[in-house]
Homo-oligomer: A and B are copies of this chain.
Amino acid sequence: MAVLRVSANSNPSATAGAIANGIRHQGLARIDVIGPRAVNQAVKAIAIARSYVAAGGIDLYCTPSFASIFVQDQGEEKTAIRFEIRSRHGMCGSAEGSDAVGMANT
């Protein structure tokens, strides 16, 4: 699985590319982030990644949760937000359940 680390200074578009890549090749990606600004960058990256993969008929979703991760630099455990990002394809028995997606309803 693609496990990405996103910081407050990460470029959302670049992260989005990595997410899209993880989704296309492995069907999922994970992002661990610490701190409000890093969470914000991760969310923007996921929103952008959704548009990247939408052209291929893929609809991304994410499930945020809390996780303890060990931060090497600081030598301690910290509470991170973990985003598991998946494609709605494959969630249902038939592959089509998720194909009814991709409309912009704005």
Contacts and interface: CB of A to CB of B under 8 A. Distances in A.
Interface residues of A, number: 36
Contacts of A63: 50, 59-62
Per DSSP, chain A at the interface is: mixed
B105 A67 contact: no
Most chain B CB neighbours (cut-off 10 Å) among A35, A37, A66, A106? A106
Contacts of A47: 64-66, 81
Interface string A72-106: 00000000010000001001111001101111111
26 contacts: A39-B39, A39-B43, A43-B64, A44-B81, A46-B64, A50-B63, A50-B64, A54-B103, A59-B101, A60-B63, A61-B63, A62-B62, A62-B64, A67-B106, A88-B100, A91-B91, A91-B98, A97-B98, A97-B100, A100-B100, A101-B103, A102-B105, A103-B105, A104-B104, A104-B105, A106-B106
